[in-house]
Amino acid sequence: MTSFGTFFLPGPTEVRADVLQSMTQPMIAHRGAAFESLFSELQTGLRELFRTTRPVYVSSSSATGLMEGAIRNAPAGPILSLVNGAFAERFADIARSCDREVRVLRVADGDIVSVAAVAQALAERWYAAVTVVHSETSTGALSDIAAVARAAHAHGAMILVDSVTGVGGAPVLTDAWDLDFIFTGSQKALALPPGLAFAVASERYLLQADSLSNRGRYFDVVEFEKAARKHQTPNTPAVSLLYATQVQLRAMLAEGIDARWARHEAMRVATERWAMERTAEGLLTGIAAAPGVRSPTVTALQLPARLRDSDVVPALARRGFTIGTGYGALVGSTVRVGHMGDHTVRGLAQCLDALTDTLKDALRTVS
């Protein structure tokens, strides 16, 4: 394993040694008192993280599982999908695979769908739900999910939110923003190993889900709700990952969720400033996400036309730092820096300094 502070992939993120070590604890019965005590403690931290008084569901799956669950438990009817990147496109594709009628409201990768465009689409016809990606990991664009939720509710639609690279790094106020279903994954801004997903459902979403006969079983929110109220999970959980979550949530609460959000915002600002300087020098051509809508957790950097991500990422790895290649429509033309989890501005600066040198060398090589 690399030393902490060198792994800046936009997921999975680097995991501290004490979090990994916690996973070596013995197994416990997942229907016993010890597990229920563990689950109860997790709920305290997770509710603060999501800023909710509702139960937070714990799923032993990737976040994609809860993305499908969001659709399967949503009210019957057409879906309006806001698409501004590869993961927003995945949300729409999953809705189609669940035999939903889907209308896509699409903008260029790096932009976000405006609230005015959402309101206009909702005024044209009724939709059961709106899907939106909070922090689009392929581009680093951050959508205003609070405003989208208000528009959806004003037109009788529910709001389904993918916040996989949002929760834990970007502000999320589940109750105050009246979000119907929001989910995230363990391996992003929470800085946990992959394998867990977390979600919150509003009471209105839960009540209508209970009336559906085809919502499936593994991601049935009604079963998650019943189990959570007994401090359990509906299916056998990944106990070792829950030990890791316990340690990490204690650390996150000690830091303070607001302080965590501020640290991520400081990393976004530092990355943006560095990128603008490198753009002025000709080492980059800019940032994929538009100004004013850039995520605090991931930045997609646009490479000069004569460079590919394959010229940069392996070379940077030889300097001891791991970042991501481009993704989706931006594959090849961008590299992605994941500045989330337990990273700091100081550690990020070391990565960006090494990336500066790597870009200079790569451009000399292709000249």
Tokens of 11: 């997921």
Residue 103 belongs to a domain? yes
Q: Are 206 and 135 in a shared domain?
A: yes
The burial class, CB within 10 Å (0-12 / 13-18 / 19+), for 211 is exposed
Please report which helix (H) or strand (E) contains residue 226, including its range: helix 221-228
Tokens of 309: 């991500």
Within 51-170, residue ranges assigned H as helices are 63-72, 86-97, 115-124, 145-154
Q: Are 127 and 262 in a shared domain?
A: no
Distance in angstroms (rounded) separating the CA atoms of residues 196 and 245: 9
pLDDT tens, position by position, 251-282: 999 999 999 999 999 999 999 999 999 999 99
Residue 231 belongs to a domain? yes
pLDDT, position 336: 98
pLDDT tens, position by position, 59-87: 999 999 999 999 999 999 999 999 999 99
Q: Are 209 and 341 in a shared domain?
A: no
How would residue 367 be classed by pLDDT, with cut points 50, 70 and 90? confident
Distance in angstroms (rounded) separating the CA atoms of residues 323 and 2: 13
pLDDT tens, position by position, 182-191: 999 999 999 9
Please report which helix (H) or strand (E) contains residue 37, including its range: helix 33-50
Q: Are 203 and 295 in a shared domain?
A: no
Query: Going by DSSP bridges, is the β-strand pair 158-162/181-185 parallel, antiparallel, or unpaired?
Result: parallel
Single out the residue in 255, 287, 310 at which a domain terminates.
Answer: 255
Q: Are 236 and 289 in a shared domain?
A: no
Tokens of 259: 């302080």
Single out the residue in 255, 281, 299 at which a domain terminates.
Answer: 255
Counting residues of the chain whose pLDDT is more than 70, the rounded percentage is: 99
Q: What is the mean pLDDT of the chain?
A: 97
Number of H helices, E strands in the chain: 12, 13
pLDDT tens, position by position, 9-46: 999 999 999 999 999 999 999 999 999 999 999 999 99
* 3-state SS, residue 351: helix
The burial class, CB within 10 Å (0-12 / 13-18 / 19+), for 71 is buried
pLDDT tens, position by position, 92-103: 999 999 999 999
How would residue 1 be classed by pLDDT, with cut points 50, 70 and 90? very low
Residue 6 belongs to a domain? no
Distance in angstroms (rounded) separating the CA atoms of residues 349 and 241: 30
- DSSP annotation of 329: G
* 3-state SS, residue 297: coil
pLDDT, position 17: 97
pLDDT, position 362: 98
Q: What is the CATH number of the domain that holds 107?
A: 3.40.640.10
Q: Looking at 203-333, which runs of residues are DSSP E strands?
A: 286-287, 298-302, 324-325
Q: Are 37 and 129 in a shared domain?
A: yes
| Bridge partner residues of 102 (DSSP) | 79
HSE-up of 123 (CA within 13 Å, CB side)? 7
pLDDT tens, position by position, 192-239: 999 999 999 999 999 999 999 999 999 999 999 999 999 999 999 999
Distance in angstroms (rounded) separating the CA atoms of residues 301 and 358: 14
Q: What is the CATH number of the domain that holds 271?
A: 3.90.1150.10
- Domain count for the chain: 2
Please report which helix (H) or strand (E) contains residue 273, including its range: helix 257-280
Q: Are 184 and 270 in a shared domain?
A: no
* 10 and 338 Cβ atoms separated by less than 8 Å: yes
**Domain extent for 334:** 257-366
